[in-house]
Amino acid sequence: MSSAESSWSPGEIPNELITALEECENPLVLTHIYPDGDALGSAIAIHRLLKSSGKNPRTILTHPVPEKLAFIDHDGEAEVLTENPQLNPEDLVDAADLVVVVDTSAPDRLGLMEPAVTSSDVPRICIDHHLEGAYEYFSAIWCEPGSPATGNLIFEVFQRMGIELDRDTAESLFVALATDTGWFRHSNAGFKAYEYAARLVQLGVEADPVYNRIFQSFSHERTLSLGDLLSQSVLSEDGKILHSVFTEEIRSRRGVSMEELDGFVDSLGQVKGAEIVFLVVEIGPMRYKVSLRSHGDFSVHAIATRFGGGGHAKAAGCRLEGTEVEVVSRLLDACRDLLGESATDPATDRA
Ligand code: AMP
Ligand code: MN
Ligand code: MN
C-alpha cells in the first residue's frame, strides 16, 4: 500500500461548492454510467441532503443499478434514463439551476447526459475521487484522488453543512465506502476509511446484513460462469500478469446479466505473484470492457489512460475495439511495457 493512500485525510471543501449547494433550488444529481455502489450511494446521499434542506432535487442514472444494490435507494429516488422514455436529457438540465456530479469528474463518463450538460449554461459542481478530473469543466469541484470513495466526501459535506445523517443515508454511504474499498481490503482503505465506517456504524448501520445482501446473494449461474472464467485464465511474464476473457458465449450460455459480473476481476486476481490482473468482457461485436487491477506498486491507471480510459492507480478501466486476440495482445503489450519500465528505471525498482 502506498503511504499516500494509507495516510489520506480530507482537504478543504471549496466554499463555492457549499454555496452552490446552499443556494440552488432545483438541483440535478448525476453520476457515471453503469453506476456502482459508490456512485449510487453518493448520489442518493446528496439527494437526501438537498431534499432535507428544502430543495427539489432529481437524481438521474443513465443505466439501472445492479439489483443487489437497489436497497440503498431506500425511497426509490433515482430515475433511470434508459428505462423511462419520458425522460429527456435536455429538459432535465433545462429545469435545473445546478448540476451536481458525483463519483466521476470526466464528462464522457456522464454518458447520454453529457451533451445536454455540456451545452447548457447551468452551473455544474463535482465531488469525486478519480485521477482524471476535468477541473475546468466545473464551476466548483472537490476532487480527492487519495480518498477511498466519493461517499465519505459526501459525509464530510453533511458535516460541513451541519446536516444530520439519518440511518438510511448512513447505510447508503457505508455501501459506497465498503464497495469501493472491496470491503476495506484494498489499499485505498487507509485509517480514514475505518474511521468513517465506525461513525456510520454508530449511526445504526449493520454491516453483516449489508455484506450478505451484496456479496452472498449471487445466482448459481453466476458461480458457474465465474468457474468458466477462472478455468480459462492465463498467466504470463513469469506469473506477473494474469488475465481472462469473459465472452458473450459464456454469458449467454450461463444466462447471466452484465450487472452480475461485478466482482469477477477480484475473484480472478487471487493468484500469488500476479501483479497486474485484467479482465476483458465482451460487450458487443468487436467491443470489450476492460477491468484492470494492480496488486503491486504498478499503476494500472497508466494502462487504462493509454486506451482512453481511467480510474485509480490500483483499479482502472477502459474500452477497446477489435478482435479478442487483438484486444488481449494490445493489453499484454501495455502491461509488459509497464513491467519493463520498472525493470530499467532504478527509481521504481522495487527489488
Ligand atoms: P471497474 O473495473 O469497472 O470496477 O472500474 C475500476 C475503476 O476504473 C473505477 O474507478 C472506474 O470508474 C474506472 N473506469 C472503468 N472503466 C472506465 C472507462 N472506460 N473510463 C474511465 N474510467 C473507467
Ligand atoms: Mn464508481
Ligand atoms: Mn468511487
Q: Which three cell numbers stand for residue 26?
A: 432545483
Does residue 27 line the site of ligand 1, with CB under 6 A?
no
What pLDDT score does 247 carry? 98
- The answer, yes or no, to whether residue 346 has pLDDT greater than 50, is no
Q: What is the DSSP string of 26-80?
A: SEEEE--SS--HHHHHHHHHHHHHHHHTT---EEEESSPPPGGGGGGSTT--EEE
Mean pLDDT, residues 295-315: 96
CA dist 317 and 301 (Å) reads 8
Could you identify the atom of ligand 1 that is nearest to the CA of residue 318? 19
> How many angstroms does the Cα of residue 197 sit away from the middle of ligand 3?
15
Ligand nearest to the CA of 177: 3
pTM of the predicted structure, to 2 decimals: 0.93
Neighbours of 255 (CB within 10 A): 12
- Can you say whether the dihedral through the CA atoms of 255, 260, 261, 267 is positive or negative? negative
pLDDT tens string 184-231: 999 999 999 999 999 999 999 999 999 999 999 999 999 999 999 999
CATH number at 220-344: 3.10.310.30
- The answer, yes or no, to whether residue 350 has pLDDT greater than 80, is no
What pLDDT score does 132 carry? 85
Q: Which three cell numbers stand for residue 45?
A: 446521499
Pocket test for ligand 1, best of 62, 129, 130 (most atoms within 8 A of CB): 130
| Residue closest to 225 by CA, chosen among 244, 250, 203, 202 | 250
What pLDDT score does 1 carry? 43
| Residue closest to 72 by CA, chosen among 178, 182, 161, 189 | 178
**Spatial contact of 315 and 38, defined as CB atoms under 8 Å apart:** no
pLDDT tens string 141-173: 999 999 999 999 999 999 999 999 999 999 999
Does residue 312 line the site of ligand 1, with CB under 6 A?
yes
Residue range(s) occupied by CATH 3.10.310.30 in the chain: 220-344
What residues contact residue 95 under an 8 Å CB cut-off, 6+ apart? Answer: 26, 28, 58
Share of the chain above pLDDT 70, in %: 96
- Nearest CA, atom 20, ligand 1: 309
- Could you identify the residue written with the cell 448512513? 170
Q: What is the DSSP string of 192-225?
A: HHHHHHHHHHHTT--HHHHHHHHHS---HHHHHH
CA dist 149 and 42 (Å) reads 9
> How many angstroms does the Cα of residue 304 sit away from the middle of ligand 1?
8
CATH fold of 3-214 reads inorganic pyrophosphatase (n-terminal core) (3.90.1640)
What pLDDT score does 4 carry? 57
Q: Which residues surround ligand 2, an ion (CB under 5 A)?
A: 36, 38-39, 103
> How many angstroms does the Cα of residue 316 sit away from the middle of ligand 3?
11
**Spatial contact of 128 and 104, defined as CB atoms under 8 Å apart:** yes
- Banded pLDDT at 5 (limits 50, 70, 90): low
